[in-house]
């Protein structure tokens, strides 16, 4: 169990593992999205320049899957934690699905963007809600300025979203919990060691992550099984 005192400030970092029990594939490991395709082909600015159609196909496929997924008890437990802790909880997710929101979380920060949002690749119009799945043969959507519409996703080589807000929350937290993330993609992989200089750090997932030495303790198991009974209010 993880005890939370009335003065604790809690930072939660989630990764693909928390959505695995909702039927969405992770990236690495068996059945992972990066098992049968290369990051460079679909998730970089260079891929977009080379073959935007292929990139849209990849994200359309993920939109289809995510639009059918439902939150699992792990997402629900984190929404309950937010209701209890209010602004003493900061939830940062690397996931681009909307399962935290579907479970009732109000303030998830999506550092890698959101699957159901798109934006112009060129002009300053803000991102907009977009649940379309573009057929491979269809023309790519265009902005009113004439440039192409791209997924509102942080690709490899781009700067993650809301980094200033994230580091402020990391500097303030006394308790850090990473859930379902393999600990290999920066900058998120370094959040635990950053937080450890100030407080306790925990990991939840079926296997130890690559950055396991940054954690005070690892709880090995599935997020949906462990999270509902993991937190104790002191």
| By CB under 6 A, residue 118 contacts ligand OAD | no
Q: Of 9-17, 57-65, 76-84, 142-150, which part binds ligand OAD (CB under 6 A)?
A: 9-17
Question: In this complex, which beta carbon is closest to ligand OAD, that of residue 4 or of residue 224?
Answer: 224
**Contact status, residue 67 vs residue 114, Cβ threshold 8 Å:** no
Q: Of 27-35, 101-109, 117-125, 162-170, which part binds ligand OAD (CB under 6 A)?
A: 27-35
Element containing residue 224 per DSSP (H, E): helix 223-226
Taking CA atoms, 2 is separated from 16, 23, 103, 137, 179, in Å, by 22, 27, 22, 51, 13
| By CB under 6 A, residue 207 contacts ligand OAD | yes
**Contact status, residue 172 vs residue 7, Cβ threshold 8 Å:** no
CA-CA distance, 193 to 190, in Å (whole number)? 6
Q: Locate tokens 């049968």: which residue?
A: 36
The residues facing 108 across adjacent strands are 91
Contacting residue, 10, 12, 42, 43, with ligand OAD by CB under 6 A: 43
| By CB under 6 A, residue 21 contacts ligand OAD | yes
Q: Which residues contact 159 (CB under 8 A, 6 or more apart)?
A: none
CB of 150 to ligand OAD, least distance (A): 14
| By CB under 6 A, residue 28 contacts ligand OAD | yes
Q: Of 10-18, 49-57, 84-92, 134-142, which part binds ligand OAD (CB under 6 A)?
A: 10-18
From 194, 18, 203, 229, select the one nearest 27 (Cα to Cα). Answer: 18
CA-CA distance, 128 to 112, in Å (whole number)? 16
Contacting residue, 45, 73, 141, 206, with ligand OAD by CB under 6 A: 206
Is 194 among the residues known to form the active site? no
In the shown chain, the binding pattern of residues 87 to 116 toward ligand OAD, with x for contact by CB under 6 A and - for none, equals: -------x-----------------x----
Contacting residue, 105, 182, 201, 211, with ligand OAD by CB under 6 A: 182
Question: In this complex, which beta carbon is closest to ligand OAD, that of residue 21 or of residue 82?
Answer: 21
Tokens of 117: 């949002």
- What is the helix, strand, coil percentage profile of the chain, to 5? 35, 20, 45
Residue numbers at the binding site for ligand OAD (CB under 6 A): 15-18, 20-21, 26-29, 32, 43, 94, 112, 154, 156, 180-182, 185, 205-207, 209, 222-223
Catalytically active residues, by annotation: 112
């Amino acid at each position: 169990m993880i005890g939370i005192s009335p003065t604790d400030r809690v930072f939660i970092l989630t990764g693909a593992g928390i959505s695995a029990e909702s039927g969405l594939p992770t990236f690495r490991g068996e059945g992972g999205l990066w098992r049968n395709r290369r990051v460079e082909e679909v998730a970089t600015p260079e891929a977009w320049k080379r073959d935007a159609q292929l990139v849209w196909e990849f994200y359309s496929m993920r939109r289809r899957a995510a639009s059918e997924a439902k939150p699992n008890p792990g997402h629900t437990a984190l929404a309950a934690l937010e209701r209890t802790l209010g602004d003493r909880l900061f939830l940062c997710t690397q996931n681009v699905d909307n399962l935290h929101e579907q479970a009732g979380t109000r303030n998830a920060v999506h550092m890698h963007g959101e699957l159901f949002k798109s934006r112009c690749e060129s002009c300053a119009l803000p991102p907009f809600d977009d649940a379309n799945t573009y057929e491979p043969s269809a023309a790519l959507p265009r902005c009113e300025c004439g440039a192409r519409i791209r997924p509102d996703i942080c690709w490899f080589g781009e700067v993650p979203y809301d980094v200033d807000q994230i580091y402020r929350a990391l500097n303030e937290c006394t308790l850090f919990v990473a859930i379902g993330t393999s600990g290999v993609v920066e900058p998120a992989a370094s959040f635990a060691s950053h937080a450890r200089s100030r407080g306790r750090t925990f990991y939840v997932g079926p296997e130890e992550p690559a950055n396991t030495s940054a954690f005070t303790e690892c709880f090995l198991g599935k997020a949906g099984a462990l999270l509902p009974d993991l937190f104790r209010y002191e």
